């Protein structure tokens, strides 16, 4: 009986640790994704400005 309780609590702890590791990994990936999206947005804004300048110079 005591052995089963120990095994159960070990599995609980293992589940928690695994859950925290996965959350940490997902957070890192999300942060990278957010940085990439920020860079893409900046590039997009620069390209839009260049296009507008080109259009105004042509017309």
Domain assignment of residue 2, yes or no:
no
Degrees, nearest 5: CA angle 22-28-33: 125
The per-residue pLDDT for 14 is 93
3-state secondary structure (DSSP) of residue 1: coil
Domain assignment of residue 31, yes or no:
yes
pTM: 0.59
pLDDT per residue as tens digits for the range 1-57: 667 777 778 889 999 999 999 999 999 999 999 999 999 999 999 999 999 899 888
Residue 14: DSSP 8-state? H
Residue-range definition of the domain harbouring residue 19? 7-58
User: Hunting for tokens 């890192």 — which residue is that?
Assistant: 28
Domain assignment of residue 51, yes or no:
yes
Domain assignment of residue 47, yes or no:
yes
Output the 3-class SS for 14-44.
HHHHHHHHHHHHHHHHHHHHHHHHHHHHHHH
Domain assignment of residue 1, yes or no:
no
Q: Which two tokens stand for residue 38?
A: 């920020």
The count of domains in the chain is 1
């Amino acid at each position: 009986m005591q052995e089963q309780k120990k095994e159960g609590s070990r599995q609980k702890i293992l589940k928690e640790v695994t859950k925290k590791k996965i959350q940490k990994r997902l957070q890192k990936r999300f942060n990278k994704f957010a940085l990439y999206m920020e860079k893409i947005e900046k590039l997009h804004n620069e390209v839009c400005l260049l296009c507008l300048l080109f259009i105004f110079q042509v017309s």
